[in-house]
Amino acid sequence: MGSRVTFFEVEILDWKTKQQLCFLDKVEPHATISDIRLMFHKSYPQWYPARQSIRLDPKGKSLRDEEILQHLPVGTTATLYFKDLGPQIGWTMVFLTEYAGPLFIYFLFYFRMPFVYGLDDKLTSSPHPVVNLACICHSFHYIKRLIETIFVHRFSHGTMPLRSIIKNCFYYWGFAAWLAYYINHPLYTPPSYGQKQINFAVIMFLICEAGNFSIHVALSDLRRDGSKIRKIPYPTKNPFTWLFFFVTCPNYTYEVGAWISFTIMTQCVPVGLFTFLCFIQMTVWAKDKHYTYVREFKDYPSLRMPIIPFLL
Ligand SMILES: NC(=O)c1ccc[n+]([C@@H]2O[C@H](COP(=O)([O-])OP(=O)(O)OC[C@H]3O[C@@H](n4cnc5c(N)ncnc54)[C@H](OP(=O)(O)O)[C@@H]3O)[C@@H](O)[C@H]2O)c1
């Protein structure tokens, strides 16, 4: 006698009003959240799958695409909640706007476009070699990010909310303009300790960039099998990844290090302020990621701190 499949009924409610938006009858027990998103999309063409956050709890985390209905803690009549994430933008657009923006904006100041510092200084160049070096480091940083976004990162989401990209662009473009304005200014004065300070900063900058890149490769290697889940990252043979012994987000530690180096190199207050804001932002994210790992993995290494070894 063949075994009988028990179909599920799935009702999808609005996460805020709890009003029923959709009722799906006879859903296969093996259906994934991705399948459910597609079924929901049929009823609501304006809410394409990437816009949908489907949750078990109205205020809880979004369920992942690959999660299977019968493995969720629900009965054969499942109640799921929907939240509209707003319009989404594909990654190509995201990184082009977010990262190529600062690269381009910095050049406007570096080459002293006529409308930047006034006509007397138009298209002139700074007499200080550190200004050229700063331009090379700044460009290197954003070109590296573009390359990583195309060739290294294996993101779990294909899109980003339009709202976040607008916010991020204000942040990255605005700061790039602000930093570039001061560093390339005709009245800019080079660092107090001269070449020694600059050399130290460049070496530190390169070490941090190499470290940041190594961590991104190590994270990407965790998804070589094509999965989208988050596993515990561990140190590899590459010594730059050994920071994983002590922190959860060494890529953020290295990123902050790179900006501290850039601050030392240029000795410029706006750069220091930008570095400080980056540090605050990344600390908030690192703490969030850290406590998520601790919650999800019983065997999560206890020595690790979110972003700064033994401290924070
Ligand atoms: N200057 C600034 O203010 C600032 C701020 C933020 C970031 N950044 C820079 O941008 C870089 C990327 O930022 P991010 O926030 O996207 O970093 P992230 O959360 O560490 O993620 C980097 C990549 O690794 C993946 N990943 C993370 N943890 C993973 C795990 N446990 N298993 C498998 N894959 C994992 C992520 O995938 P998913 O997240 O898609 O799952 C993503 O593709 C940072 O390292 C930093 O260099 C700069």
Pairwise CA distance, residues 234 & 236, whole Å: 6
C-beta of 208 in contact with ligand 1 (< 6 A): no
pLDDT over 80 (residue 158):
no
pLDDT over 60 (residue 100):
yes
The SS3 of residue 307 is coil
Residue ID of nearest Cα to ligand 1 atom 41: 156
pLDDT over 50 (residue 1):
no
pTM, two decimals, is 0.85
Quick one: which atom of ligand 1 is closest to the CA of 285? 15
Contact 73, 56 (CB under 8 A): yes
Pairwise CA distance, residues 248 & 243, whole Å: 9
Average pLDDT over residues 130-149: 96
Pairwise CA distance, residues 228 & 158, whole Å: 11
Quick one: which atom of ligand 1 is closest to the CA of 251? 45
| Residue pLDDT, tens place only, 35-47 | 999 999 999 999 9
CA distances to 12, 128, 131, 213 from 267, rounded to whole Å, are 55, 13, 11, 25
Average pLDDT over residues 98-116: 94
C-beta of 64 in contact with ligand 1 (< 6 A): no
Per-residue confidence at 76, pLDDT binned at 50, 70, 90? confident
Give residue 3's pLDDT. 63
Query: Measured in angstroms, how far is the CA atom of residue 224 from the centroid of ligand 1?
Result: 16
pLDDT over 50 (residue 22):
yes
| Residue pLDDT, tens place only, 174-233 | 999 999 999 999 999 999 999 999 999 999 999 999 999 999 999 999 999 888 888 999
Query: Does 54 or 6 have the greater pLDDT score?
Result: 54
Query: Measured in angstroms, how far is the CA atom of residue 285 from the centroid of ligand 1?
Result: 10
Per-residue confidence at 75, pLDDT binned at 50, 70, 90? confident
Query: Measured in angstroms, how far is the CA atom of residue 173 from the centroid of ligand 1?
Result: 20
pLDDT over 70 (residue 70):
yes
C-beta of 278 in contact with ligand 1 (< 6 A): yes
Query: Measured in angstroms, how far is the CA atom of residue 33 from the centroid of ligand 1?
Result: 24
* Dihedral, CA of residue 258, residue 260, residue 263 and residue 269, to nearest 10: 140
What does pLDDT average to over the chain?
94
Pairwise CA distance, residues 85 & 68, whole Å: 22
Pairwise CA distance, residues 69 & 3, whole Å: 19
DSSP character for 32? B
Scored b (16 or more CB within 10 A) or e, 72-89 reads eeeeeebebbbbebeebb
Residue ID of nearest Cα to ligand 1 atom 27: 219
C-beta of 251 in contact with ligand 1 (< 6 A): yes
